[in-house]
Amino acid sequence: MRLAREKQAAMSSSFKTLVLMSFIIFAAGALDILVVDTAHAKDETPLVDDKYSLKADREALEALRKNIPAEVKKDNDEKAFMDDMMSDLSKNPSDVRGKFQSIVNKKRETFNKDMTKKREDFSKAQSKDREAFSKEQGEQRKDFTKKRTSSSERTDFYDDLEGKRKDFYSGQKEKRDAFEEDMRDKRKNFDDYIRAKTDEFNQLHRDYTKRYEENLKAKADLKKQAEEKRKNLQKDLDKEYESIRQKPATPLGAEGE
């Protein structure tokens, strides 16, 4: 009987251990999923704003593409942009490159204007904050001087004002440093993006130039063949006409006599 109870207790302990291990495995799996989902969500943030993307205008297809992830749509639009410029071999390669460079320049101009506007807005906001802070401190000084205070109270008051002033300007400097770092990151991301797209364009443009020249040669060959065929046909007609011309003339009415 005692042996049976010990065996039952051992089985109960094993079952508890199994349940605990299953829970740990499940929790670890859930944590992995959470980490992966969080990382995926973080990766979906584009390094470059969509307004600077080199892409074709595909607004007409937007309703059909509403369920496609934004990053996939952006990639498709950029591929369509490249394909539209180099699709039918009707444009001179130099014109294609000129068009691409013109679009890149416009995107860069838009980016630079936006960066300048952000810097101006940030500077104006900080200037406004400084004016408000200085005004507040001035009013505090004015109110304080109207009171009868001891030397120690005056010392404490002005030490407190000076401490607040230092904290304020230190905070402004930290905000400015963070802003400038963000601006540098945005410019680097934009420059990296344009450089990558230019490399992609150059590779496609080399292939386009080759196909364009081959197409010109094929057209020239066809034109040459057509001209030779026309000349041969003209020669055949001339020979036939010459053979007819060399036959003796038959007087009118001679055949009836």
DSSP letters, 176-235, are HHHHHHHHHHHHHHHHHHHHHHHHHHHHHHHHHHHHHHHHHHHHHHHHHHHHHHHHHHHH
Distance set, CA 123 to CA 116, 156, 177 (Å): 11, 33, 12
The amino acid at 90:
S
pLDDT at 249: 62
pLDDT attached to residue 141: 94
CA distance 79 to 111: 21
Chain mean pLDDT for the chain: 79
Cα separation, 45 vs 54, in Å, equals: 17
Instruction: Give the pLDDT confidence score for residue 67 in this predicted structure.
Output: 63
Spans in the chain with pLDDT lower than 70: 1-47, 51, 54-73, 75, 248-257
CA distance 108 to 138: 45
pLDDT score for 83: 82
Rounded CA-CA distance 175/169 in Å is: 10
Q: pTM for the whole thing?
A: 0.61
- 257 by DSSP, 3-state: which? coil
As a whole number of angstroms, the distance between CA 195 and CA 189 comes to: 10
Task: For residues 12 and 4, give the distance between their C-alpha atoms in angstroms, rounded to a whole number.
Answer: 12
What is the DSSP code string of 75-138?
Answer: HHHHHHHHHHHTSSS-S-HHHHHHHHHHHHHHHHHHHHHHHHHHHHHHHHHHHHHHHHHHHHHH
